[in-house]
Amino acid sequence: MKNNISKIEKILLYDIDENGYIKGCLINKAAIYIYLRKDDGSLYVGSSIQVANRLSSHRSRVITWGKDNYKNGSPIFYNSVLKYGWQNFNFGILEYIDLSGVTSIDKKKLLEKEQYYLDIIKPSLNLCKIAGSPLGVKRGLLFAKNVSESKKGKKQIKLNIKTNIPNNIITSDTRLKLSSRASGVIVKIFDSSNNFIKEFPNMACAAKHLGVTDRTIGRIFKTGISYDNLIYKFKVKEGYPIIVTNNENNSIKEYYSIRTLSKDIQVSRETISKNINTNKLLKGIYSITRK
């Protein structure tokens, strides 16, 4: 199916170098964007709350695309880039979207506009034709096999975690790992000139907003190294960590997430929240306090 390129003739197209960087300045705000293959006019349409960061995400994904067993992204587009090279593509903005009145991270307005362009342009490099959803994508046997392989052994590992809670005080390295995926870490993002952009209540929200994985934000937290042109500042929320004392063997462990604690001791999050800083022993063993 050919792309309906008549809808995009008047937009500004940026050249891209061999490493995936555009040649020009780009406003880092919400937008609907395209990649145009120069030789045949095939197109990829996407959207992002911060479009410059999405370019960075695409560059990283293309690099790892051929190495991942479980692939998440846009296979037709990424395979086309790997085959023909970034330099054979142009990048363009179809439309900037004003989200100034949006107080949440809900991308409904953005996705509705992306769907509009998907419908009228019918881009051939988009496997999924529904904005923000994998609906209609046929995964195939290889996908199912890769998912199955990735989950092997996880059930037994999870069981071991439940029944064998470490009997020693948590190390600083482990605390760092817990923090990196915790709900108790505030993330503030600034531009390269240290101008404040946005604050997020946790790493998961920051990752979703930027279009990257939680693990990427966690690496920035642990290493202090930014992978884009942004500055990240982290703060552990007051009220953390949660201190759990096992009165059966007098061991102590710290948690930065009630969810993780709930899984470890097999007590609901609601029950844990109600009994923090009380004298009640959960399961007759655990006393829970918060600094």
CA–CA separation, 189 and 95 (whole Å):
24
By three-state DSSP, how is residue 31 classified? strand
In degrees rounded to 5, what are phi and psi of residue 128? Answer: -90, 130
Cα-atom radius of gyration of the chain, to the nearest Å? 23
**Cβ within 8 Å of residue 98, ≥6 positions away:** 30
> Of 233, 228, 214, 188, nearest to 51 (Cα)?
228
Q: What is the pLDDT of residues 179-222, one digit of tens each?
A: 444 456 888 988 777 888 888 888 888 887 777 777 788 788 87
CA–CA separation, 10 and 289 (whole Å):
62
Sheet holding 231-236, edge to edge: 196-200, 185-190, 231-236
Sheet holding 286-290, edge to edge: 251-255, 242-246, 286-290
Q: Which residues pair with 243 in a beta bridge?
A: 254, 289
> Of 239, 245, 290, 241, nearest to 265 (Cα)?
245
Determine the pLDDT at residue 92: 93
Q: If 0-12 CB within 10 Å is exposed, 13-18 middle and 19+ buried, where does residue 107 land?
A: buried
By three-state DSSP, how is residue 108 classified? helix
Determine the pLDDT at residue 8: 66
Determine the pLDDT at residue 183: 56
Q: How many CA atoms lie within 13 A of 181 on its CB side?
A: 10
Determine the pLDDT at residue 106: 56
- Listed as ranges, residues in the chain with pLDDT below 70 are 1-2, 4-9, 66-73, 101-107, 132-184, 227, 237-240, 291
Q: Amino acid identity, residue 234?
A: F
* List of domains in the chain: 5-140 (3.40.1440.10)
CA–CA separation, 98 and 84 (whole Å):
34
Determine the pLDDT at residue 148: 60
Number of neighbours of residue 94 by Cβ within 10 angstroms: 20
Q: Amino acid identity, residue 236?
A: V
Q: Amino acid identity, residue 40?
A: D
Determine the pLDDT at residue 149: 59
| Residue carrying the six token digits 């960075």 | 56
Considering the entire predicted model, what is its pTM? 0.48
**Cβ within 8 Å of residue 267, ≥6 positions away:** 261, 282, 283, 286
Contact 44, 35 (CB under 8 A): yes
